[in-house]
Chain A
Amino acid sequence: MIRFDGVTKRYADGTVAVDHLDLEVPTGEITVLVGPSGCGKTTSLRMINRMIDPSEGRIMLDDVDVRTIDPPTLRRGIGYVIQQAGLFPHRTILDNIATVPYLLGWDRKRARSTALELLERVGLAPEMARRYPFQLSGGQQQRVGVARALAADPPVLLMDEPFSAVDPVVRASLQDELIRLQAELHKTIVFVTHDIDEAIKLGDRVAVLRVGGKLAQVADPATLLAAPADGFVREFLGRDRGIRRLSFVADTGLRLRSDLVVPVTSDLSRVAGVAADVESPWLAVVDEDNRPLGWVAPADLPRAGTLRDVRPLPYGTFVRGKDSLRTALDAALLSPSGCAIAVNGDGRVIGVATRESLDEALALAASEAPEPHDAPVREDADG
């Protein structure tokens, strides 16, 4: 665990970058520091590995004051990923990754074989090993940056806006990659970003900082979205935070109907009757294997033949028990029926979430919006 204890950083010109920061970074979790420029998030990060020393307060790393550890020694035990990757242009990819093992005095063979493993672990081909950094794309360089930070298997990883210099598609894949890696590695990660969406996607806990280096709120993403501590946090989260909060609401509260599902082998002469019985203008069509084909409106269909003869309309699905309410809602909005098809892990249809059941689930989610906790609540002029 990393603990900030009343940490303040004041520069010679009087600028306060970080103001009495108290924060706990739990072991094995991703804690994101997020805020606008000038909020002291990078300064806070760099005080952990003593690239900057605080003016007041102390930072405890597993109950040891980091100021009692010689900086190079401290830093070799903490992985660091910097914006633009910061790879050494004069070293091959393999030697870049092996930087800290070399510094720790591992023999070259061991350092290189570890580096090669990490290269593959971050999803790069072994052929990259002998290239130089400028021969790689920005996204690939950033992967190498992550591999380099992991090379000596440090328990703590500091990441300073590591994905902000790459395009959005690459950024999303790097974020997914980090989530995948973290599921295997369980590092204690402090991640700095100015992008609130990135913070919410990656963070187990998100600490929102305001300009002047004050902590505005620290909470898990769902709590943050549901109950921002003040106007600043609310504004920083952006307008659609309610919708985004649904990403953290499980779909288990969603009532499913199985009577709206008809097999593709059904006679058209019967389908209209089914629709009338279940009192729905729409029916979901599945194939013999119980996989979704789409929606039909029986009222518009001919009376002869089977459902095979008609072309079902587009549909959206969500995986029951795995996807969030947001995914279910998204699936509903992609269907002309306004209903979402629920499938199991194998992609087989297990029912339909109608607009009524979505409505109930949304009302439930709204009523369960958690109260803000472990953060100061302030009344702001704009709040």
Chain B
Amino acid sequence: MDEEPLVRWDWIARNWSTGRVGSISSLLVDHIVMSGLPIVLGLLAALPIGLACVRWRRLYQPTAGVMNVIYALPSLPVFMFLLPLTGLTKATVIIPLTFYAVAVLIPAVVDGMTAIPDHVRQSAVAMGFNPLRRLLQVDLVLAMPVVLAGLRVVAVSSISLVSVGALIGQGGLGNLFTDAFKRDFPTPAVVGIALIVALALVADGALVFLQRMLTPWARVRRSA
């Protein structure tokens, strides 16, 4: 029997978009959903929690402790633990990844907020900003570079971690790995790795682009 080539291009062409579950394109979409949702949900959860930790400083240490423990839990046993509750669904993957995202983003929100110079905060108060407007127009904007840096970490790690879900059949592109191992056929694994890396690069690039668009004042600072 001939040596199996690393990539069989005809296999990719045949399986790219079959319209069935398990085609490469549908796995790619699954992957984007399962990694994207935790990023968005994580940010939505981390913002209020982080702001509460800034407002009531004594909350921060316990919160950070709990979040670190969660972050330390290996993803596989968490999936297993959730199985009885959520079954073999995407939620089983999305929930733990959301927690990881929150664990990374809370410190980012807190650090971003506390890095705002005191004289800037004081002058915002003295100019007559009311609290909500100050939060939206001054504090959150100034915290944004740090939060966006946290988001970049979260985005890349979520995209990579989704593939672990393959062990319960919900791994997005990760399903290609189990497929490859089961059949001793490397092409799907190579495709999976390539697409995951590409996805991570695209997501990171998009966030860098977003950062430049949203924080021109920080960009000028870097180049100055």
Inter-subunit contact A88/B126 (CB<8 Å): no
Residues of B within 8 A of A145 (CB): 123
A-binding segment of B10-18, B34-42, B215-223? B215-223
Inter-subunit contact B141/A90 (CB<8 Å): yes
User: Is A257 in the interface zone, CB < 8 Å from B?
Assistant: no
Inter-subunit contact A90/B123 (CB<8 Å): no
Of the candidates B119, B129, B138, the one whose C-beta lies within 8 Å of that of A85 is B119
Inter-subunit contact A80/B127 (CB<8 Å): yes
Inter-subunit contact A132/B217 (CB<8 Å): yes
**Size bin of chain A's contact surface:** 20 to 34
Q: List 18 interface pairs A-B (beta carbons < 8 Å), by A numbering.
A: A51-B122, A51-B125, A71-B128, A72-B128, A73-B128, A75-B126, A77-B128, A84-B119, A85-B123, A86-B119, A87-B120, A88-B138, A88-B142, A89-B120, A100-B127, A134-B217, A135-B220, A135-B224
User: Is A179 in the interface zone, CB < 8 Å from B?
Assistant: no
Q: How distant is A69 from chain B, measured CB to nearest CB, in Å?
A: 11
User: Is B130 in the interface zone, CB < 8 Å from A?
Assistant: yes
Q: How distant is A146 from chain B, measured CB to nearest CB, in Å?
A: 12
Which A residues have a C-beta under 8 Å from some C-beta of B?
49, 51, 71-77, 80, 82-91, 99-100, 103, 132, 134-135, 145, 148, 158
Residues of A within 8 A of B133 (CB): 103
Chain B positions 104-154 with a Cβ under 8 Å from a chain A Cβ? 117, 119-120, 122-130, 133, 138, 141-142
Q: How many angstroms between the C-alpha atoms of A91 and B124 in the bound complex? A: 12
Q: How distant is A354 from chain B, measured CB to nearest CB, in Å?
A: 53
Inter-subunit contact A76/B215 (CB<8 Å): no
Residues of A within 8 A of B117 (CB): 84, 86
Residues of B within 8 A of A77 (CB): 128
Cβ-closest chain A residue relative to B133: A103
Cβ-closest chain B residue relative to A102: B137
**Size bin of chain B's contact surface:** 20 to 34
The dominant DSSP class at the B interface is helix
Of the candidates B125, B129, B215, the one whose C-beta lies within 8 Å of that of A90 is B215
Inter-subunit contact B120/A88 (CB<8 Å): yes
Inter-subunit contact B128/A83 (CB<8 Å): no
A86-B119, A90-B215 known; A72 and B126 CB under 8 Å?
no
Inter-subunit contact B120/A86 (CB<8 Å): yes
Q: How many angstroms between the C-alpha atoms of A132 and B216 in the bound complex? A: 9
Inter-subunit contact B215/A82 (CB<8 Å): no
Q: How distant is B145 from chain A, measured CB to nearest CB, in Å?
A: 10
Q: How many angstroms between the C-alpha atoms of A315 and B126 in the bound complex? A: 50
Cβ-closest chain A residue relative to B219: A132
Inter-subunit contact B221/A134 (CB<8 Å): yes
Residues of A within 8 A of B123 (CB): 80, 82, 85-88, 145
Residues of B within 8 A of A89 (CB): 120, 142, 217
Q: How distant is A142 from chain B, measured CB to nearest CB, in Å?
A: 12
Residues of B within 8 A of A85 (CB): 119, 123
Q: How many angstroms between the C-alpha atoms of A80 and B123 in the bound complex? A: 7
Q: How many angstroms between the C-alpha atoms of A51 and B128 in the bound complex? A: 10
A88-B138, A89-B120, A89-B142 known; A72 and B129 CB under 8 Å?
yes
Of the candidates A82, A86, A87, A100, the one whose C-beta lies within 8 Å of that of B128 is A100
**Using an 8 Å CB-CB cutoff, how does the interface string of B186-224 with A read, 1 for contact, 0 for none?**
000000000000000000000000000001111011001
Inter-subunit contact A82/B119 (CB<8 Å): yes
Q: How distant is A99 from chain B, measured CB to nearest CB, in Å?
A: 5
Cβ-closest chain B residue relative to A80: B126
Cβ-closest chain A residue relative to B142: A90
Residues of A within 8 A of B216 (CB): 132
Q: Which 7 A/B pairs are nearest by Cβ-Cβ distance?
A: A86-B123, A76-B128, A75-B128, A80-B126, A86-B119, A72-B128, A90-B217
Residues of A within 8 A of B120 (CB): 86-89
Q: A72-B130, A86-B119 are in contact. List 18 more A-B contacts (CB 8 A).
A: A51-B125, A72-B129, A73-B128, A77-B128, A80-B126, A83-B119, A85-B119, A86-B122, A88-B120, A88-B138, A89-B142, A90-B142, A90-B218, A99-B127, A103-B127, A132-B221, A134-B224, A135-B224
Chain B positions 8-35 with a Cβ under 8 Å from a chain A Cβ? none
Cβ-closest chain A residue relative to B141: A90
Residues of B within 8 A of A90 (CB): 138, 141-142, 215, 217-218
Q: How many angstroms between the C-alpha atoms of A49 and B128 in the bound complex? A: 9
Q: How distant is A150 from chain B, measured CB to nearest CB, in Å?
A: 12
Q: How distant is A165 from chain B, measured CB to nearest CB, in Å?
A: 9
A82-B119, A89-B120, A89-B217 known; A49 and B138 CB under 8 Å?
no
